[in-house]
Amino acid sequence: MNPRSTFARIRRYPSAVAGFAIILLLVGVAVYTVVTIPYSQALADWRGGDQWRMNPVNASPVWTNRLFGGNAPPTLTVSSDGAEVESAAFDGGRQVRIPLALDFPHDDFPSELTLLLSVLGTDRPAFVEATWHRPDGTDIRLGAHRIAGDDRIAISQNRALEGRLGQVPHIGLFADDGGRVLQGTHRLTLEAVLFDPNAELRAELVAFGRVHGLAGTDHLRRDLMLALLWGTPVALSFGLLAAVGTTVTTLVIAAAGVWFGGLIDATIQRLTEVTMILPVLPVLVMVGTLYSTSIWLMLGVVIALGIFSASIKMYRAMLLPIRNAPYIEAARAYGASDARIVLRYMIPRILPVLIPAFVTLIPTYVFLEASLAVLGLGDPVLPTWGKILNDAQAQGALYNGFYYWVVAPAVLLMLTGLGFALFGFALDRIFNPRLRSA
Amino acid sequence: MAVAGLRLDRRVREVGGFALFVLRRVVALVLTVMVGVYLTIVVANMGGQVDELRLIQIRADVSEAVRGDPGIVPAERAELIERQVALEVERLNLDQPFIWRSLDYLRRAMLLDLGRAEQMNSDLGSRQVAAIITERLPATLLLFGTANLLVFAVSIFAALGLSRRYGSGMDRTVVALAPTSAAPGWFYGIFLILVFAFVVPIFPPGGMVTVPPPENPIVYALSVLHHMILPVLAIFVSSIFVSIYSWRTFFLIHSSEDFVEMARAKGLPDRMIENRYILRPTLPPIVTSFLLMLIGLWSGAIILEQVFNWPGLGTLLFQAIGFRDTPVIIGGVVIFAYLLAVTVFLLDFLYALLDPRVRVGPDGGRR
């Protein structure tokens, strides 16, 4: 089959073009990801930790605001760097007053309120007292703290304050009498006594938002974008490697069995029957639980179970008539070796028929990887789509209304499946003329 | 006389050949099941490594029990621990080398003596693996049986209809929708749960009956039905289009056979052509795929049941693997292997009875 005419025919199928476009898009995302976020950095970031501390917990993507017409707050920070700090020196120290103004025009409460303080230039702890001034004129004392070095005051976890407000502070401080959000400028005044004339106090008020980035965040404040991006090369390479590993080896084994016949063929047939009676997913779950959930081991087992799969029987049926074809006889007559006949004459003959099946096989393995991850047997370090789904399920994402957590990876999985399937089905109609008339 | 004798002789030879064929298939299948089950035993025991974990576990449990008992004199403790560990080791046969024990497992598995579970028990408290499995089997059969029967029946009828008027709008739609089956059932399950259990809460997100289970059997059945709708829908959506598509292609190829064209040329009515000329000769592959579907239905159950929290065999197997309860794992796989092997054998047997070409190899000689 002439490659050029094949290409021209593929172009005539809109579904093939659409599928191919989706595949190209995914490959583009995968390449972009691997180039911009190095593998080691992705793993380190996904393990979680301090680099995520400025992210909100379980925040929706920013676009949900636009989609549902809401005006949920992003994470807002007010720093003392731009504030008008009043300072008065006294003997042996300084008294400072830092006003922090937080503009809050949103119609949903922040998800968390934290005050980051650091005392610079001295070892002696400072004494800080905080007061919250609301737009409606009421003042609420937040309490006093002794601060040494860097400190993080979680206002949201202030139990005494919660008791006074009757609600968690990040809601209580922002709510009016009717329970609605009090919009306008909220002010936090810090009155501090520093016991060193050269000491300095820096403050940062963080009102964690309800929306973050294009993908939102999970329960560990991690940006889901990282896993969505890195899931792409992982899914594509797993699908591709597994599909190549199973089809190519299966094809070579089937062809060898047909060519040599006899004992070799019989052995291959019996091995195929053995693998046919083994349930694949339970075996994978067993391997994952008992040995290791490394994605490479899983890939190996998938390929091992896939080599002697039922498709050997199908290939055999296709290859049997070829075995006695005149051109094979001609090859034998001029003294071609067994390997040459199998690899160069028999396999290429049925390859066109198998390409569509190969393309549609890729998403099967992509979903298999996701299935394992959803069962909690995903690779322990790699960020993948299936692991996002697993986290979401473990944290009751649907129950708590964090729909974005499930929808984003699911849509990507669907897109992958659809892209390869559209392309594969169209190829099937092109390469197998018997179906084309239909 | 001589002619009759010859005919009888040929008859005997034919029956003999058939018996030989059946015998060979039985031996091959038993060997197949044996190898498959043995592989599972080795994997499930990590090639014997699970035993070491078990020994440590036994020692820890026994020491804790003995130390916690104030009635035992400290001097006797060490001896008592040793004695109890030895008893437990003997109970679990851990004193024999793994290779012998694995062969013993194999022998008992092949005889369908599934033994006792190590950690798990059935809801009624039985430790018998057979009891545990039979308790979970109905749930899986109910769910997957219903869904697969539905898919099977709908796709055959839809495919027949479509093959009659291929190229129509309906036909194109089904062909266009076939790629949606790239996603497995659990995947659609997640979406269905999202939409129909949370956004529009009209169905429960998981489980099999309401808690506590209703006393009235009719209410109970209705509750099960209500819980079944989403998982059945998930399986149905994930496989219906590709199933219709492949059956349609199958029927189309068959309806261009010469004898069908001939029937058409004779002017026979469509229904008759369908029933007599298309469905009847294609019945063997239809029956095959139906039987294989019935057997294979639970191999994908493990994750769908997990997503829908359905108390079936898949969930059981997942729990058993988590507990490293090898007798239960092996029991599940053995049942699966046996069911599949028996089905394959029955199919072989039926085909050999119906179609002499099967008994004879492609080169004309006997296989």
Contact B179 A19 (CB under 8 A): yes
d(Cα B120, Cα B129) in Å, to the nearest integer?
9
Beta strand A184-194 pairing with A93-104: antiparallel
Question: Looking at residue B196, what is its pLDDT?
Answer: 92
Residue A10: give its domain's CATH number. 1.10.3720.10
Question: Looking at residue B359, what is its pLDDT?
Answer: 52
Same domain (yes/no): A237, A377 = yes
pLDDT tens digits, chain A, 438 residues: what are they? 566 777 787 888 888 899 999 999 999 999 999 999 999 989 988 888 788 888 898 888 988 888 887 888 999 898 888 778 888 888 888 889 999 999 988 888 999 999 998 888 888 888 899 999 988 888 888 888 888 888 888 888 888 888 888 888 888 888 888 888 888 899 999 998 888 888 888 889 999 988 888 888 988 899 999 999 999 999 999 999 999 999 888 889 989 998 988 899 888 888 888 887 787 888 888 888 878 888 888 899 988 888 888 788 888 888 888 888 888 889 989 988 888 988 888 888 888 778 888 888 899 899 989 988 888 888 888 899 999 999 998 888 888 888 899 999 999 999 999 999 989 888 887 877 655 443
**Residue in chain B lying closest to A290 (CA):** B46
Instruction: Copy the structure tokens of residue A304.
Output: 């091992």
Neighbouring C-beta atoms of residue B234, cutoff 10 Å: 24
In a domain, A214, yes or no: no
For the cut 60, the answer to whether the pLDDT of residue B358 exceeds it is no
In a domain, A54, yes or no: no
Q: Which of A274, A279, A438 has the CB atom closest to B35's CB atom?
A: A274
* Amino acid type, A400: N
Contact A281 B299 (CB under 8 A): yes
Contact B44, B329 (CB under 8 A): yes
How far does CA B134 lie from the centroid of its chain? Answer: 14
Same domain (yes/no): A158, A286 = no
Same domain (yes/no): A240, A198 = no
Question: Looking at residue B5, what is its pLDDT?
Answer: 63
Residue recorded with tokens 């006695």: A324
Segment holding B35, helix H or strand E: helix B2-44
Contacts of A375 in chain B (CB under 8 A): 302-303, 306, 318
d(Cα A52, Cα A39) in Å, to the nearest integer?
18
Contact A277 B50 (CB under 8 A): no
Nearest to B295 by CA among B150, B185, B148, B124: B148
Beta bridge partners of B26: none
Number of structural domains in chain A: 2
Contact A110, A76 (CB under 8 A): yes
Same domain (yes/no): A280, A328 = yes
* Amino acid type, B33: V
Same domain (yes/no): A103, A194 = yes
**Residue in chain A lying closest to B40 (CA):** A283
Please state, rounded to an integer, the average pLDDT across all residues of chain B.
81
Contact A229, A356 (CB under 8 A): no
Contact B179 A277 (CB under 8 A): no
Is the bond into B212 cis (omega within 30 degrees of 0)?
Answer: yes
d(Cα A368, Cα B185) in Å, to the nearest integer?
12
Q: Is A54 left (phi over 0), alpha (psi -120 to 50) or beta?
A: alpha
Whether residue A291 lies within 8 A of chain B, CB to CB, comes out as: yes
Same domain (yes/no): A290, A423 = yes
d(Cα A276, Cα A266) in Å, to the nearest integer?
15
Query: What is the reported pTM?
Result: 0.83
d(Cα B321, Cα B117) in Å, to the nearest integer?
12
Domain boundary among A151, A181, A208: A208
Contact A304, A245 (CB under 8 A): no
Segment holding A327, helix H or strand E: helix A326-333
Contact A95, A193 (CB under 8 A): yes
SS3 A2: coil
In a domain, A216, yes or no: no
Contact A414 B166 (CB under 8 A): no
Residue A334 DSSP label: T
Same domain (yes/no): A73, A42 = no
Instruction: Copy the structure tokens of residue A117.
Output: 């303080």
Test mutation, A22, A271, A277, A323, chain B, max B CBs within 10 A: A277
Contacts of A418 in chain B (CB under 8 A): 179-180, 182
Residue A173: give its domain's CATH number. 2.60.120
In a domain, A55, yes or no: no
Instruction: Name the band, by pLDDT with cuts 50, 70 and 90, for residue B227.
Output: very high
Instruction: Copy the structure tokens of residue B212.
Output: 């506590």
Q: Where does A42-90 show beta strands of DSSP type E?
A: 76-79, 86-90
Neighbouring C-beta atoms of residue B182, cutoff 10 Å: 26
SS3 B10: helix
Q: Is A149 left (phi over 0), alpha (psi -120 to 50) or beta?
A: left
Burial class (CB in 10 A: 0-12, 13-18, 19+), B4: exposed
Q: How far is CA B10 from CA A434, B17, B367, in A?
A: 42, 10, 18
Residue recorded with tokens 């995520």: A52
Structure confidence by residue, pLDDT tens digits, B183-223: 888 889 988 998 899 888 899 988 888 888 888 899 999 99
List the strands of the sheet with A76-79, edge to edge. A76-79, A200-208, A112-120, A150-154
Helices and strands in chain B, H and E counts: 15, 0
In a domain, A90, yes or no: yes
> Which residues have C-beta within 8 Å of that of residue B176, sequence separation ≥ 6?
A15
d(Cα A102, Cα A177) in Å, to the nearest integer?
20
Q: Is the dihedral of CA A250, A254, A257, A260 positive or negative?
A: negative
Contact A276 B307 (CB under 8 A): no
Question: Looking at residue A22, what is its pLDDT?
Answer: 95
Instruction: Name the band, by pLDDT with cuts 50, 70 and 90, for residue B363.
Output: very low
Structure confidence by residue, pLDDT tens digits, B144-159: 889 988 999 999 889 8
Q: Which domains does chain B have, with CATH numbers?
A: 2-110 (no CATH), 132-354 (1.10.3720.10)
Instruction: Name the band, by pLDDT with cuts 50, 70 and 90, for residue B226.
Output: very high
Contacts of B54 in chain A (CB under 8 A): none
Same domain (yes/no): A397, A252 = yes
d(Cα A295, Cα A239) in Å, to the nearest integer?
12
**Domain range spanning residue A142?**
63-208
Structure confidence by residue, pLDDT tens digits, B305-352: 888 989 988 888 888 887 877 788 888 877 877 777 777 777 777 776
Whether residue A403 lies within 8 A of chain B, CB to CB, comes out as: yes
CA–CA min distance B3, chain A (Å): 37
Instruction: Copy the structure tokens of residue A91.
Output: 């003997």
Q: How far is CA B350 from CA A218, B275, B278, B343, in A?
A: 56, 21, 20, 10
Contact A273 B322 (CB under 8 A): no
SS3 B152: helix
How far does CA A242 lie from the centroid of its chain? Answer: 20
User: What φ, ψ does residue B113 adopt, rounded to 5°?
Assistant: -90, 95
Same domain (yes/no): A43, A118 = no
In a domain, A226, yes or no: yes
Same domain (yes/no): A35, A89 = no
Whether residue A422 lies within 8 A of chain B, CB to CB, comes out as: yes
Same domain (yes/no): A282, A373 = yes
Nearest to A102 by CA among A73, A128, A127, A125: A73
Contacts of B336 in chain A (CB under 8 A): 277, 279
Nearest to B306 by CA among B317, B294, B296, B295: B317
> Which residues have C-beta within 8 Å of that of residue A170, sequence separation ≥ 6?
A109, A110, A111, A112, A113, A155, A156, A207, A208
Beta bridge partners of A237: none
CA–CA min distance A417, chain B (Å): 5
SS3 B113: coil
CA–CA min distance A143, chain B (Å): 41
In a domain, A53, yes or no: no
CA–CA min distance B79, chain A (Å): 33
Neighbouring C-beta atoms of residue B310, cutoff 10 Å: 24
For the cut 90, the answer to whether the pLDDT of residue B97 exceeds it is no
* Amino acid type, B21: F
Contacts of B28 in chain A (CB under 8 A): 270, 273
Contacts of B40 in chain A (CB under 8 A): 278, 283, 286
Same domain (yes/no): A347, A323 = yes
Question: Looking at residue B173, what is its pLDDT?
Answer: 86
Domain boundary among A184, A208, A232: A208
Whether residue A27 lies within 8 A of chain B, CB to CB, comes out as: no
DSSP state letters, A363-402: HHHHHHHHHHIIIIIS-SS---HHHHHHHHHHTTHHHHT-
Q: Which of A15, A421, A438 has the CB atom closest to B182's CB atom?
A: A421
In a domain, A56, yes or no: no
